[in-house]
Structure formats: structure tokens, C-alpha cells
Amino acid sequence: MIVRRDTTIARLLTLFVVMLVSRIACGHQQDDYHAVLDFTPPAPGTYQLHRIMPAPEGSVLDADGNARKLSHFLRSKITLLGFIYTTCTDPEGCPLAYRVFDGLKKEIQATPALHDRVRFVTLSFDPARDSPEVMKQYAGSRIKEDRGLRWYFLTTRSVRDLLPLVEGFGQDIRYSVDKSTGRPVRELSHVLKVFLIDRSGSIREIYTSTFLHSQVVMNDIKTLLMEQGAKLP
């Protein structure tokens, strides 16, 4: 469909007005299988993480409101990136991702060999509600640099800026479904996905809630570091 410029602008204006007073549901589509680790994952460096696809480029805002290219946050270190809404409460969505991110953060901070080699990026799906100020407040103490791990909380200026990022990562967004009728309702939802990105900006692993285990992610991070020749304990 070709969207005329004037039509697009009108839609964007409408969008922002409505989103100011609306609520976007954080409806992560859960997997039937919960994230219970019932196996010993293969040891770091004993397997290969293939290049799934390049991470997309786009414009983002950091928590201080500075405009940046997303690639600024995806290069020269290993990056773990996840999409969120600050209004999210689904236990299998953002909270699950936070549990994993927080666990990994502690382990990285406790391992000097991993310092300054990994970063976390949390990127909002909801530019109308999640301003840089909101993201900074949402991040709390997580945003402070300490012991070798930076955690960036990013948002976008507009849906127009968000769109190529969502598109490029292959992140779905759907209408939610009213459980009683099975019909779509006026809310959005998405599948939780976390992306592991290497130093050159290639996506090397994608985790949905079923596959999001901190031990597995840590082994994957170490596998990428070992690929670069790192000697790890």
C-alpha cells in the first residue's frame, strides 16, 4: 500500500494524540513451556552460533534524550537487547527478561574477565509513553555504570523511527484477543524476544521465553568471546 505523505502525517498526529490517552498492552505471547532449565547446556566454545541476520540500523534516543544511531549501541561489544514497554506486567514477558538480565549482570560483574565486553540494551516499543525521562526513571539504578557493565535504556522519537527497528529485528506485534470471544480487541501484544548481537552487529541468537535461561545466555556470551580469542576462566 502506498501511503501519501499528507495522509501519513495526519495519521501520525492522530496516533500521538490517541496514544497520549491510551494504553498499549504488554501482551507477551507466552510459550506453553515455561523457562525451566532441565538440562545441562553445552559448554562455551563447544558449539557455533551462526550469523542469523544483521541487526537493523535506526534512530534512537538515550535516557538523556540524545539522538543516536542504534548501531552506536551495538558495536565493539557483545550486546544483549530486548524490547519492553514500561507498563508491562506480564510475568512471562518483561519481568522474565529482567530476571535473566539482572542475573547475568551479577555474574558479569563478578567475573573480571567479562568486564567491559558486554552491554545490555533495553529498547521501548512505546515511544508515546516511554520518553527518555520515563526510561531513565524506569531504569533506576540499573542505568548507572558500575563494575564493567553498561545497561542502556533507549526509546525512539516516534513510531516512524521505531518501525524499521521492529521490522528489522523481526519482532511481531499483534492485536490481543478477548479470551471470552476469541476476537481481536483494541490492544497490541507481541512475542517476547531477546537478541544476542556480536561485536560486528550480527544477531547470533534469539531467545523466546522458552529458551531464555541465564546459564544458556551466559554460555552463548562466552562462546562469542572465545570466538574472538578471549581466555575465560
Partner 1 sequence: MIRFNRAMFYAAFVCAGAVSLDVPQAYGDETCNSPYVTKLIKGQEDYVYVWALGVEGLGDGSDKMVTVDVNPRSKNYGKAIQRVSVGSRGEAHHMGFTDDRRFLWAGGLENSRIHVFDIATDPGRPRLVNTITNLAEKTGYVGPHTYYALPGRMLVQALSNTRDKGGVTGMALYNNKGDFITSYAMPVDNGGDGYGYDLAVNPRKNMLLTSSFTGYNNYMRSLGEVVKDPEAMKRFGNTMLLWDLKAMKPQKVFSVPGAPLEIRWSLKPGDNWAVAATALTSKIWLVKQDAKGEWQAKDVATIGDPTKIPLPVDISITRDGRGLWVNTFMDGKTRYFDLSNPEAPKQTYEKQTGKQVNMISQSWDGKRVYITSSLLANWDKGGADNEQFLRGFTWNGKELKQVFEVDFTAEKLGRAHHMKLGSKALRTAYTRPETSRQLALNR
Chain residues that interact with partner 1, rule: CB under 8 A: 1, 3, 7-8, 11-12, 14-15, 18-19, 21-33, 36, 38-39, 41-42, 46-47, 50-53, 90, 128, 159, 163, 166-167, 170, 172-179, 182-189, 191, 193, 203, 206-208, 210-211, 216
* Minimum distance of partner 1 from residue 12's CB (angstroms): 7
For partner 1, the closer CB: 30 or 59: 30
For partner 1, the closer CB: 88 or 143: 88
* Minimum distance of partner 1 from residue 233's CB (angstroms): 21
* Minimum distance of partner 1 from residue 204's CB (angstroms): 11
Tell me how far the alpha carbon of residue 144 is from its chain's centroid: 18
For residue 130 the three cell numbers come to: 516511554
* Minimum distance of partner 1 from residue 198's CB (angstroms): 14
Task: Please enumerate in sequence order all residues whose Cβ is within 8 A of that of 186, keeping only pairs 6 or more positions apart, or say none.
Answer: 175
For residue 211 the three cell numbers come to: 529458551
Q: What is the dihedral of CA 120, 210, 57, 8, to 10 degrees?
A: -120
For partner 1, the closer CB: 182 or 229: 182
For partner 1, the closer CB: 143 or 194: 194
* Minimum distance of partner 1 from residue 64's CB (angstroms): 25
For residue 55 the three cell numbers come to: 541487526
For partner 1, the closer CB: 111 or 202: 202
Residue 179 CB: number of other CB atoms within 10 A?
A: 8
For residue 81 the three cell numbers come to: 537487547
- Closest residue by Cα to residue 12 from 144, 204, 156, 192: 156
8 Å CB contact between 82 and 171: no
8 Å CB contact between 203 and 89: no
* Minimum distance of partner 1 from residue 23's CB (angstroms): 5
For partner 1, the closer CB: 61 or 203: 203
Task: Please enumerate in sequence order all residues whose Cβ is within 8 A of that of 221, keeping only pairs 6 or more positions apart, or say none.
Answer: 78, 80, 104, 114, 118, 196
